[in-house]
Structure 1
Amino acid sequence: MKNDFLYVEISDNMAKLIRNGVLKAGDRLPSVRMLCREHNISMNTAKRVFLELEAQSLIESKPQSGYFVSRLPYQRLPLPEVSKPSPVSNSKEPAELIGKVYANMGKNNLTLFSVGAPSNELLPLAKLNKEIMLATRELSDSGTGYEQLQGNEKLRRIVAARSLSWGGNLHENDLVTTAGGMNALSFCMMALGKRGDTIAIESPCYPGILQLAGSLGLKVLELPTHPATGIELDALKKAIPKIDLCLLVPNFNTPLGSCMPDEHKKEVVKLLASHGIPLIEDDIYGDLYFGRQRPKCCKSFDQEGIVLWCSSVSKTLAPGYRVGWVAPGIYKEQILKLKLVHAISSPAITQEAVAGFLKSGRYENHLRKLRHTLQSNYQHYIEAIAGYFPAGTKTSRPQGGLALWVEFNKKINTTELFESAMKQKISIAPGRMFTMQNQFENCMRLSIGLPWSEEVQLKLKQLGRLVANL
């Protein structure tokens, strides 16, 4: 209680200094450690102070530099609320809505704010074409034969080497390749869950995960989730007796773009391991960080082998290649058995092509450019939303990834907004897509994967007008 009181008191005092102009735009704030010393508080309490000020859009964090008073007016858009899903598992999948939105994929006459992938214009298509040609020459059978069950050895070796950047320390033999990230998640959920089991997930959550869980007969338990730091740990602790497995997207998840702090990831793994509950970790956005360093994964803290780390190149390089992988820990044999039954092997040519691209070093160059573009896009989107959307609009502030979550007042129904926007050749992802419950009707996800242009800006302006008219 004392810490709660101090956290509120200190954040309120600092907020007054900022609002009264004593602390001005661009001023650097004390570090977390300095705040601890000045007020004799714990690290966690100090961090809560800064999180509260960030939630009010009064300050911003800069990687490796610290916290600063927000410089620009558009950064004062408040954060969305922490989600409050029902503590009871639910299965009201919005199948019809999801079908309508996904039906727009690949349509060139629409502005696709609804597709959570980078535009082709941001991908190195010519270089990938060359890698495909090289792959047919490198493979002994030109790629027409079956690949070994565990997957392309070169690809697994490179993915294992790259895991050192986030503390994974994987070996090529720890990995199994799959036909994209969703295929990896599918194998994991089939291996670990049986019909009637309960799976804990973030709320809101990617629709594909909801649909997959439903198709397997799993009950979905949505956990309260903070738009900046991910699932609420206390909620997960309370849910432990109810759940059989857990699936999280700790790094820049869609649709919120939240990123769990390392200490949260460590605590989650320790908690689940102590109860023998496996964790499926979807790390498909981890390479799309805006800061200087890639965030760690839950797998970084896995001592027992209970984390099944899944990823792919679908959000960074080649969505249509369907190249993914999983490091399944102690569940490797179950995953291999499922792969044998459901796939026999992975496509040889695309695996070899991706392996070649990663090995050449061109992938890192591409990622640097892509991250810079996405961060710039995010800033443009926020500025447009601040200028064109109704007062009171709230937005997430992702530090990476492809998603921007927008929350309107309760009177706005984004399913209705979707229908109106489609008449203007604009496709959005309504918030109801991202839950099994009756919530988020006043929210939407916008993809920042489109190259910024005058046309994109105009479409956001039109979207703002449509919201105002609802």
Structure 2
Amino acid sequence: MAKYEQLASQIRHQIESGIWRAGEKMPSLRKQAEHAGMSLMTVMHAYQQLESQGWLVAHPRSGYTVAESIQMPSQPQNAAVETAEAVDINSFIFDVLQASRKPYMVNFAFAYPDPNLYPRHQVNKSLMHAARSMSVSNALDNLPPGNDSLRAMIAQRYAAKGISISPDEIVITAGALEALNLSLQAVTRPGDWVVVESPTFYGALQSLERLGLKALSVRTDARTGIDLNSLERAFQSHPVRACWLMTNHQNPLGFTLTEEKKRQLMTLLNKYQVALIEDDVYSELYGGTEQPLPAKTFDLHGNVMLCSSFSKSLVAGFRIGWVAAGKRALDIQKLQLMSTLTTSVPIQLALVDYLSTRNYEHHLRQLRRTLDRRKKAMCKLLAQTLPAEVEIIAGDGSYFVWLRLPETSDTMAIYVQALAAQITLAPGKMFSPGTQFNHCLRLNTSFELDERHTQAILQLSRIIQLHCRRD
């Protein structure tokens, strides 16, 4: 097959997939040639072939559009790429999280694992040891990029998985969210476009709102992850500066990209010179026996900022995270000096003590087994009590399930009714700048299904049943 025929076939597939819609303008010959790495003549022949077959319409002096007459197959509920010139979601998320703080609530909206699963006594011993052994110079010794021993330990943990990350490119931060925010600041300016998944982690939307950035929400499948054809379309149609993605155990959907898809993602990012901010906070909480590798494993140009923390796997209250920042490590250190200045010195020292004297791997093995058991128990109970039309999406790992109700459902109404019953949940509105997930919700499965939590699930199922019948 000639090159122009290969390109024509690729564009036909993109049109059939809904990446280019009827009547929409195609990239110019020059831009398509640049993106495809082909000559102008090759692209022109491909466009002409598609025009002769009825896929494209030529417009003198204004290029090509997709033919209006094409009968498209039905598309998934969310569009290939959705734009948000301004993100305005923080106030709503604040209200949901504030409701979750009330001690009498059954908290299925909780963002962290059940606190009872953390090794509190061992961690507290390490904290006391760190406090006793702190020297006068510790404050200076632990300025950005952070404690040398802790950065070395993190690098060694990556090395054990076959990932070569130098301690020099690791910056210790006040939790993963600071790592993610600093990474975003390092590569964007207000008004820039940033790609997120659809749906995405609500913290990403809050960060975009705070920094005055524009969101490009790219179609994301609940099981296979972000659609790479749609992602390339976003790169072609907008000057994207960065992608904020979860490649392992994505929140809220739970998928993990295959290694092949991670390689393809990196190829695409390098082709369009777009930075990747990789949110990898759940990678230690994998299901099965093999820990998934981050996309940074396949980064050959230092263009990925890999962010993670100990908050989900060890103890939430410590608020210690890091970014393996590649070529931007120094930029992130400078930004940190202008914001938090440094991460808590006693906490850094406590983690050094814990990681060197306690059995972190043993704790992780127990944690993974418990989370897996509890998630399966929750999914079984949900399957027994929810209406058949509710889809239960539970990835392999982490501790969230995503419920997809009939599209006419309103999970905000369910959220309000559940609150009155002293149950919190995370409605789909939290995970998108638009309204396309207002019929979805997320639940935390990390809590033991004791009598209280079981009754709460039964009550929530009754509320959902009533709304499904009403719809």
TM range (shorter): 0.7 to 0.9
Kindly state the Cα deviation for residue 354 of structure 1 after the two structures are TM-superposed.
1.6
Kindly state the Cα deviation for residue 369 of structure 1 after the two structures are TM-superposed.
1.0
Alignment of 1:82-231 (within 5 A): 83-84=78-79, 86-141=81-136, 147-231=142-226
> 8 Å contact 1:205–1:254 — kept in the other structure?
yes
Kindly state the Cα deviation for residue 444 of structure 1 after the two structures are TM-superposed.
0.1
Kindly state the Cα deviation for residue 105 of structure 1 after the two structures are TM-superposed.
3.6
Aligned residue among 378, 382, 398 for 1:381? 378
SS at match of 2:99: coil
Q: Following the alignment from structure 2 to structure 1, what is the Cα–Cα distance between the partners of residues 289 and 77?
A: 27
Q: Specify whether residues 292 and 144 from structure 1 end up closer, same or farther in structure 2 by C-alpha distance, changes over 3 A only.
A: same
Q: Following the alignment from structure 2 to structure 1, what is the Cα–Cα distance between the partners of residues 83 and 140?
A: 48
| CA RMSD between the two structures | 2.0
The residue that corresponds to 1:16 in the other structure is none
Q: For 1:285, give the aligned amino acid.
A: Y
Q: Following the alignment from structure 1 to structure 2, what is the Cα–Cα distance between the partners of residues 353 and 82?
A: 47
The residue that corresponds to 1:285 in the other structure is 282
The residue that corresponds to 2:324 in the other structure is 327
> 8 Å contact 2:123–2:354 — kept in the other structure?
yes
Structure 1: which 4+ aligned runs deviate by more than 4 Å?
Answer: 142-146
SS at match of 1:148: coil
Q: Specify whether residues 157 and 348 from structure 1 end up closer, same or farther in structure 2 by C-alpha distance, changes over 3 A only.
A: same
- How many residue pairs match? The answer is 394
SS at match of 1:368: helix
> 8 Å contact 2:194–2:243 — kept in the other structure?
yes
Kindly state the Cα deviation for residue 297 of structure 1 after the two structures are TM-superposed.
0.4
Alignment of 1:13-92 (within 5 A): 83-84=78-79, 86-92=81-87
The residue that corresponds to 2:255 in the other structure is 258
Q: For 2:179, give the aligned amino acid.
A: A
Residue 244, structure 1, aligned to residue 241, structure 2: yes
Kindly state the Cα deviation for residue 208 of structure 1 after the two structures are TM-superposed.
1.3
The residue that corresponds to 1:233 in the other structure is 228
Kindly state the Cα deviation for residue 197 of structure 1 after the two structures are TM-superposed.
0.6
Q: Following the alignment from structure 1 to structure 2, what is the Cα–Cα distance between the partners of residues 263 and 421?
A: 41
The residue that corresponds to 1:69 in the other structure is none
Q: Specify whether residues 278 and 155 from structure 1 end up closer, same or farther in structure 2 by C-alpha distance, changes over 3 A only.
A: same
> 8 Å contact 1:199–1:218 — kept in the other structure?
yes
Q: For 1:141, give the aligned amino acid.
A: V
Q: Specify whether residues 82 and 403 from structure 1 end up closer, same or farther in structure 2 by C-alpha distance, changes over 3 A only.
A: farther
The residue that corresponds to 2:403 in the other structure is 406
> 8 Å contact 1:213–1:219 — kept in the other structure?
yes
The residue that corresponds to 1:355 in the other structure is 352
Gaps of 5+ in 2: 1-8, 14-75
The residue that corresponds to 1:463 in the other structure is 460
Alignment of 1:278-317 (within 5 A): 278-317=275-314
The residue that corresponds to 1:339 in the other structure is 336
Kindly state the Cα deviation for residue 177 of structure 1 after the two structures are TM-superposed.
0.4
Q: Following the alignment from structure 1 to structure 2, what is the Cα–Cα distance between the partners of residues 397 and 425?
A: 24
Q: For 2:131, give the aligned amino acid.
A: T
TM-score of the two chains, using structure 1 as the length reference: 0.80
Residue 432, structure 1, aligned to residue 432, structure 2: no
Q: Following the alignment from structure 2 to structure 1, what is the Cα–Cα distance between the partners of residues 77 and 304?
A: 26
The residue that corresponds to 1:9 in the other structure is none
Q: Specify whether residues 149 and 231 from structure 1 end up closer, same or farther in structure 2 by C-alpha distance, changes over 3 A only.
A: same
Q: Following the alignment from structure 1 to structure 2, what is the Cα–Cα distance between the partners of residues 440 and 182?
A: 23
Kindly state the Cα deviation for residue 224 of structure 1 after the two structures are TM-superposed.
0.6
The residue that corresponds to 1:43 in the other structure is none
Kindly state the Cα deviation for residue 82 of structure 1 after the two structures are TM-superposed.
7.1
Q: For 2:289, give the aligned amino acid.
A: R
Q: Who wins on radius of gyration, i.e. which is larger?
A: 2
Aligned residue among 451, 463, 468 for 2:448? 451
Kindly state the Cα deviation for residue 144 of structure 1 after the two structures are TM-superposed.
6.0
The residue that corresponds to 1:397 in the other structure is 394
> 8 Å contact 1:228–1:258 — kept in the other structure?
yes
Q: Specify whether residues 130 and 274 from structure 1 end up closer, same or farther in structure 2 by C-alpha distance, changes over 3 A only.
A: same
Kindly state the Cα deviation for residue 188 of structure 1 after the two structures are TM-superposed.
0.6
Q: Following the alignment from structure 1 to structure 2, what is the Cα–Cα distance between the partners of residues 141 and 368?
A: 37
Give identity over the alignment, percent.
Answer: 32
Q: For 2:203, give the aligned amino acid.
A: G
The residue that corresponds to 1:415 in the other structure is 412
Kindly state the Cα deviation for residue 146 of structure 1 after the two structures are TM-superposed.
6.2
The residue that corresponds to 2:273 in the other structure is 276
The residue that corresponds to 1:44 in the other structure is none
> 8 Å contact 2:262–2:298 — kept in the other structure?
yes
Q: For 1:246, give the aligned amino acid.
A: C
TM-score of the two chains, using structure 2 as the length reference: 0.80
